[in-house]
Amino acid sequence: MATRQRRRSFLRKAMMPILASAFLTYFAYHAFHGEYGVFAQARRDVKLQELHAEFERLKKKSETLHNRVTLLRSESLDPDMIDELARANLNLVNESEITILRPEREGRTGKTD
């Protein structure tokens, strides 16, 4: 019985390092560019900061509106506040008052938010 000895070719010797480097390359790529990678984390951090800033802005606006509503409740109704709001919203003046018309400035509407 004769056996034939073969010399191991270069491809057979290099097969395991090639596969290992392919797996490492795949996982390294996804560690940076994947859905949960380093770059995605940076984008999420920026978005989180933007949302926190918007939350703070909306929170301040909500507090301002809450304070204005509190002033309009029947138990704490302020006649001056009612008069001021009515004049601002209806563009009315009393007939005994003198009205001075001024041209509007850019960026200023006269409304109070």
| Residue range 51-100, pLDDT digits in tens | 999 999 999 999 999 988 887 777 777 777 778 778 878 877 778 878 77
52 within domain boundaries: yes
Work out how many domains the chain is built from and give that number: 1
Helix or strand or coil: residue 112? coil
Residue 88: predicted pLDDT? 79
Residues in the chain: 113
60 within domain boundaries: yes
76 within domain boundaries: yes
101 within domain boundaries: no
96 within domain boundaries: no
Both tokens of residue 65?
A: 């509106």
- State the residue range of the domain holding 32: 27-90
